Chains A and B, each alone.
Chain A
Amino acid sequence: MKKLILKSALYFFLILILLEVLVRIFHLGKDTPARFVDEHEVEKWVPNQNGFSVTGNRRQNFSEYNINNSGYNSYREFNPTKNKIEVALVGDSFIEGFHQDYYNSIGKKIENKLPNIEVYEYGYAGYDFADQLHLVHSYKEQFQLIDHIVLGIKFSNDLDRGAYNVVYSRLALESPKNRLLKKSKLLVYCKSIGILDPPQELIYRFISLFKSKQKFTTKSDEEISRIKKEKEKQYLTNFESLISTYGYDKERYTLLLDSRITSPVFLSYLEKNNFNYIDFADTFEATNRPTTLIYDRHWNNHGRQLIASAITEYLSKKEFQKPKP
Chain B
Amino acid sequence: MLFNSLDFFIFLSVVFIIYWFIFYKNIKIQNSFILLASYLFYGMWDWRFLFLILASTIVDFFVGQTIHHSTSDKTRKAWLWVSVIFNVGLLGFFKYYNFFIGSWVDFISILGYDLKSTWTLQIILPVGISFYTFQTMSYSLDIYYKRLTPTKDFIAFATFVSFFPQLVAGPIERASNLLSQITTKRIFNYNQSSEGLKLILWGLFKKVVIADSIAPIVDDIFANYTQYPASTLVLGVSLFSFQVYGDFSGYSDIAIGTAKLFGIELMSNFKFPIFSRNVAEYWQRWHVSLSTWFRHYVYIPLGGSRVSKLKSVRNIIIIFLVSGFWHGANWTFIVWGGVHAAFYIPVFLMGRNRIYMNNVVAENRWFPTITEISQILLTFALVTFSRVFFRSESITDAFGFLQQIFTNFTYDTYQHPLGYRMIDYFILLALFVVYEFKIRRDERSPFKFKSKVVRFVMYTLVILGMLLFFDDNIDRSFIYFQF
Decide yes or no whether B188 CB sits under 8 A from chain A: yes
Asked if A1 and B20 make an inter-chain contact with CB atoms under 8 angstroms apart, the answer reads: yes
Q: A60-B420, A193-B470, A194-B472 are in contact. Are A199 and B6 (CB under 8 A)?
A: yes
> What's the minimum C-beta distance from B17 to chain A, rounded to whole angstroms?
9
* Alpha-carbon separation in the docked complex, A18 to B456 (Å): 10
Decide yes or no whether B349 CB sits under 8 A from chain A: no
Query: Scoring A residues 180 to 208 as 1 if CB is less than 8 Å from chain B, else 0, what string do you get?
Result: 00000000011001110111001000000
> 8 Å CB contacts to B: which residues of A9-36?
11, 14-15, 18-19, 22-23, 28
> 8 Å CB contacts to B: which residues of A50-90?
57-58, 60
Closest Cβ neighbor of A190 among chain B residues: B467
Asked if A22 and B470 make an inter-chain contact with CB atoms under 8 angstroms apart, the answer reads: no
Q: A4-B194, A15-B460 are in contact. Are A195 and B5 (CB under 8 A)?
A: no
Asked if B460 and A58 make an inter-chain contact with CB atoms under 8 angstroms apart, the answer reads: no
For A60, the chain B residues whose CB sits under 8 A away are 419-421
> What's the minimum C-beta distance from A288 to chain B, rounded to whole angstroms?
13
Asked if B194 and A22 make an inter-chain contact with CB atoms under 8 angstroms apart, the answer reads: no
For B6, the chain A residues whose CB sits under 8 A away are 198-199, 202
* Alpha-carbon separation in the docked complex, A294 to B421 (Å): 11
Query: Scoring B residues 440 to 483 as 1 if CB is less than 8 Å from chain A, else 0, what string do you get?
Result: 00000000000000001101100110011111100000000000
Asked if B467 and A198 make an inter-chain contact with CB atoms under 8 angstroms apart, the answer reads: no
Q: How many chain-B residues does the 8 Å CB contact rule pick out?
A: 28
SS class, residues of chain B in contact with chain A: helix
Q: CB within 8 A of A198: which of B5, B464, B468? A: B5
Decide yes or no whether B305 CB sits under 8 A from chain A: no
Decide yes or no whether B197 CB sits under 8 A from chain A: yes
Asked if B419 and A11 make an inter-chain contact with CB atoms under 8 angstroms apart, the answer reads: no
Closest Cβ neighbor of B196 among chain A residues: A4
Decide yes or no whether B412 CB sits under 8 A from chain A: no
For A112, the chain B residues whose CB sits under 8 A away are none
Decide yes or no whether A142 CB sits under 8 A from chain B: no
> What's the minimum C-beta distance from B168 to chain A, rounded to whole angstroms?
20
Decide yes or no whether B190 CB sits under 8 A from chain A: yes
* Alpha-carbon separation in the docked complex, A60 to B418 (Å): 11
Decide yes or no whether B153 CB sits under 8 A from chain A: no
For B194, the chain A residues whose CB sits under 8 A away are 4, 7
Q: A195-B470, A198-B6, A199-B6 are in contact. Are A290 and B463 (CB under 8 A)?
A: no
For B188, the chain A residues whose CB sits under 8 A away are 1
For B469, the chain A residues whose CB sits under 8 A away are 57-58
Query: Scoring B residues 173 to 213 as 1 if CB is less than 8 Å from chain A, else 0, what string do you get?
Result: 00000000000000010100110010000000000000000
For B114, the chain A residues whose CB sits under 8 A away are none
Decide yes or no whether B73 CB sits under 8 A from chain A: no
For B471, the chain A residues whose CB sits under 8 A away are 57, 193
Closest Cβ neighbor of B188 among chain A residues: A1
Decide yes or no whether A3 CB sits under 8 A from chain B: yes
Query: Scoring B residues 405 to 436 as 1 if CB is less than 8 Å from chain A, else 0, what string do you get?
Result: 00000000000001111001000000000000
Asked if A22 and B460 make an inter-chain contact with CB atoms under 8 angstroms apart, the answer reads: yes
Residue with the highest number of chain B CB atoms closer than 10 Å, among A15, A57, A58, A195 = A57
* Alpha-carbon separation in the docked complex, A233 to B74 (Å): 85
> What's the minimum C-beta distance from B176 to chain A, rounded to whole angstroms?
29
> What's the minimum C-beta distance from B349 to chain A, rounded to whole angstroms?
48
For A18, the chain B residues whose CB sits under 8 A away are 456-457, 460
Asked if A4 and B193 make an inter-chain contact with CB atoms under 8 angstroms apart, the answer reads: yes
> What's the minimum C-beta distance from B421 to chain A, rounded to whole angstroms?
7
For A3, the chain B residues whose CB sits under 8 A away are 190
* Alpha-carbon separation in the docked complex, A19 to B21 (Å): 32
* Alpha-carbon separation in the docked complex, A63 to B6 (Å): 33
> What's the minimum C-beta distance from B180 to chain A, rounded to whole angstroms?
24
Q: A8-B197, A11-B459 are in contact. Are A58 and B464 (CB under 8 A)?
A: no
* Alpha-carbon separation in the docked complex, A190 to B468 (Å): 10
Q: A1-B20, A4-B193, A202-B6 are in contact. Are A195 and B460 (CB under 8 A)?
A: no
* Alpha-carbon separation in the docked complex, A222 to B21 (Å): 60
Q: CB within 8 A of A19: which of B20, B424, B467, B470? A: B467
* Alpha-carbon separation in the docked complex, A273 to B450 (Å): 79
> What's the minimum C-beta distance from A21 to chain B, rounded to whole angstroms?
9
For A193, the chain B residues whose CB sits under 8 A away are 467, 470-472
* Alpha-carbon separation in the docked complex, A226 to B5 (Å): 42
For B464, the chain A residues whose CB sits under 8 A away are 19, 22
* Alpha-carbon separation in the docked complex, A60 to B468 (Å): 10
> What's the minimum C-beta distance from B24 to chain A, rounded to whole angstroms?
9
* Alpha-carbon separation in the docked complex, A85 to B418 (Å): 41
Residue with the highest number of chain A CB atoms closer than 10 Å, among B7, B21, B457, B460 = B460
> What's the minimum C-beta distance from A197 to chain B, rounded to whole angstroms?
6
Closest Cβ neighbor of B428 among chain A residues: A58
> What's the minimum C-beta distance from A29 to chain B, rounded to whole angstroms?
10
Chain A to chain B: the 8 pairs with minimum beta-carbon distance, closest first:
A194-B472, A294-B419, A198-B6, A18-B460, A15-B460, A58-B468, A4-B193, A195-B470
Q: A4-B194, A57-B471, A195-B472 are in contact. List 4 more A-B contacts (CB 8 A).
A: A1-B21, A7-B194, A14-B456, A22-B460
